[in-house]
Amino acid sequence: MPAAHARTAPTQAPAHALARAVLAGSGLLAGATVLAIFAFLAWFSLPLFTADGLAGALSWSWRPMRGEFGILPMALGSLALSGTAFALAFPLGVGVCLFACGLGPRPLARVLMAVVRFMTGIPTVVYGFVAAMALTPLVRSALGGSGYCWLTATLGLALLALPTIVLLLHARMEAAEAELRLTAAALGLTPAQMLLHAVLPACGPGLFAAAVLGLGRCVGDTLIPLMLAGNAAQAPHGLAGSLRTLTAHIALVVATDSQSAAYASLFACGLILFLTTLGVNLALRLLRRAPAGRLRTGGPA
């Protein structure tokens, strides 16, 4: 093709190629990091993958002074705490969304959503700190004990995960509501009926995605369990009992700098955590519909 008046192409081509290479390289950084994290976790937990090592790790007793490095109490702690926190946060989140999508008066709904958005900006450590100062005395007087227990941590963690659930679910519900509003009104449904019987069912995938995301948030958090759950390395006995999660365990062990013999089981904790959140993420991806092609796929006019 005759090059006529174009004077740009030749001199800029090498610069463009370099730029594109840099961009492609940066893209690899994310994937490479994830792989590196996995590699490190696996490598450092390697000493455990012997018959003795595994038996030692999969025990219920964490007493480093005696050479016992069982991590099952922490695994159970994570499971228990995430479970209760999620069981509290998810229904609350759905309720908040119902309120914001039509069951509550418009001005109040706007305020509510603004507050939820504000909550995403609250640092986790501030949640933990205020709860530790203000909530624990209440729990102490109600249930006895020190106040740092399963219940307190549940309340704190639920509050933390709530905005995550609400923001995602609200976006989906709003979209569905916009589509279904006229149809529902024409059928003579009240707003409540529309939300309950038309919008919520239409948001099935959205509900699941919000749940998965919220659960991930509960499992992955460190500060709330660390500051509120008591941190006793034992299986939790009841709501007033102290427990320790995998995340808090990692923080504590590294912070107290105990003997490096503990490190292998520490990395094993990390590995469990990593695989769990990996599973959560992949589940979420399978849920998402394939994104529409860039610009549009059905482009005709």
Partner 1 sequence: METRQPPLTPAGENAAELRGLRVAFAGREVLHGVDMDIPARAATALVGRSGSGKTTLLRALNRLNECFEGAQTSGSVRIRLGGDWVDAYANGLAVTELRRRVGMVFQTPNLLPLSVERNLTMPLRQVLGLSRPEARLAAHAALAEARLWDEVKDRLHAPALDLSGGQQQRLCLARALALRPELLLLDEPTASLDFLAARGIEELLGRLKERYTLVVVSHSLPAAARLADRLLVLREGRVSARLGRDDLERGETLAGLMEELF
Partner 2 sequence: MSRPRRGDGRMGTDERLALSWAWLSAGLTLAAVAALVGFLLARGLPVLGLDLLFGATPPLDAILGRRPVWEGIWPACAGTLSLVLLAGALAVPAGVACGIHLAVFARGRSRDLLRLGVDLLAGVPSILMGLFGFALILLLKRTVLPGANTSLFLAAGCIALLVLPYVASATAAALEGLPEPVRLLGPSLGLDPWQDVRAVLLPAAGRGILGGVILACGRAAEDTAVIMLTGAVAGAGLPAGIFGKFEALPFTIFYLAAQHQTPADLDRAWGAALALLACTTLLLAGARVMHHTLERRWKRVSRP
Residues lying near partner 1 in the complex (CB under 8 A) are found at: 1-9, 293-301
* Shortest CB 67 distance to partner 2, Å: 20
Q: Residue 81: which residues within 8 A CB-CB, separation 6 or more?
A: 150, 153, 154, 157, 218, 225, 229, 243, 245
Considering only residues 220-249, where is the footprint of partner 2 by CB under 8 A? 220-223, 226-227, 247
The alpha carbon torsion through 167, 172, 175, 178 (nearest 10 deg) reads -90
Q: How far is CA 184 from the centre of its chain?
A: 34
Instruction: Closer to partner 2 by CB, 37 or 55: give it.
Output: 37
Instruction: Closer to partner 1 by CB, 1 or 30: give it.
Output: 1
Instruction: Closer to partner 2 by CB, 177 or 221: give it.
Output: 221
Considering only residues 115-154, where is the footprint of partner 2 by CB under 8 A? 115-130, 132-134
Considering only residues 184-213, where is the footprint of partner 2 by CB under 8 A? 190, 192-193, 195-196
Judge residue 284's burial from the number of C-beta atoms within 10 Å of its C-beta, 0-12 exposed, 13-18 middle, 19 or more buried: middle
DSSP result, 59-73: SS-EEGGGTEE--HH
Question: In this structure, how many other beta carbons lie within 10 angstroms of the beta carbon of residue 163?
Answer: 22
Position among 46, 254, 261, 287 found at the interface with partner 2 (CB under 8 A): 254
Nearest CA among 225, 103, 116, 220 for reference residue 164 = 116
The CA distance from 41 to 83, in Å, is: 25
Considering only residues 8-67, where is the footprint of partner 2 by CB under 8 A? 8-9, 12, 16, 19-20, 22-24, 26-34, 36-37, 40-41, 44
The CA distance from 169 to 62, in Å, is: 40
Instruction: Closer to partner 1 by CB, 65 or 292: give it.
Output: 292
The CA distance from 160 to 122, in Å, is: 9
* Shortest CB 281 distance to partner 1, Å: 24
Instruction: Closer to partner 2 by CB, 51 or 286: give it.
Output: 286
Contact between 277 and partner 2 per CB under 8 A: yes
Which residue's structure tokens are 């999620």?
86
User: Considering only 59-67, 176-184, 203-211, 269-277, which stretch makes contact with partner 2 by CB under 8 A?
Assistant: 269-277
Contact between 69 and partner 2 per CB under 8 A: no
Instruction: Closer to partner 1 by CB, 285 or 294: give it.
Output: 294
